[in-house]
Structure 1
């Protein structure tokens, strides 16, 4: 009989913290480890803990294909203004702006205003790792994901 181990509650890192979190198996680290000088350390203290409800809300920000496409474009091309996203995605400006608002509120992107233009970029260097991991998982489990009645 296996002994039950209590899992420590995960903590949320703020985008300002430069620590690198290994989310992708190819990153060479286990999930939840932060690499600094070759050693794994605990995540820094934060005002919020990453409860299952909070994680679900964060991931819900990726539940629309347009938001995923926006993040992919920003990762690939860097900072872009709204009209560039509208042009590349072929969707109305109002719809793109609504999706950007969602991504901004959830902390996926940040905005910089210059004159009449709003430039968006990915806020956290871990976002590309998370999307790469999600794509790998989706590809590996496509039949199940497509057949899921809740997705």
Structure 2
């Protein structure tokens, strides 16, 4: 199912952090590295994944590229997710299967 693949791509904390940073505006890889605190190679790999999924795109700028959200609908999705999280309180974070406690135990 395509929706499952979309949410799986958004479910990775690193990819989500990159997308949320790009929701603020275009960025170079070096900017994303600074924003999300990951190695350049890791950020580049996540960007390649997100580009393959059609969620980000880039344009050349000098010797580097500027990345941006390829779909404005992502902004609506993020806004809807914030509203849903606000409405559910801490229930999602406390979920025994998918919440932060479950994620912390998996680490």
Structure-2-length-normalised TM-score: 0.79
Aligned residues: 98
Higher radius of gyration, 1 or 2: 1
Q: Which residue of 1 aligns with 2:16?
A: 68
Runs ≥4 residues deviating over 4 A:
none
Distance in 2 of aligned mates of 1:94 and 1:87: 13
By percentage of residues, which structure has more helix? 2
Q: Quick one: which of 78, 81, 93 aligns to 1:134?
A: 81
Query: Aligned runs of 1:12-31 on 2, under 5 Å?
Result: none
Give the CA RMSD over aligned residues: 1.8
Q: Which residue of 2 aligns with 1:90?
A: 37
The question of whether the paired residues in 1 share the 8 Å contact of 2:92 and 2:98 is answered with no
Cα pair distance change 1:147/1:124, threshold 3 Å: same
Structure-1-length-normalised TM-score: 0.58
Uncovered stretches (5+) of structure 1, i.e. residues with no partner = 1-52
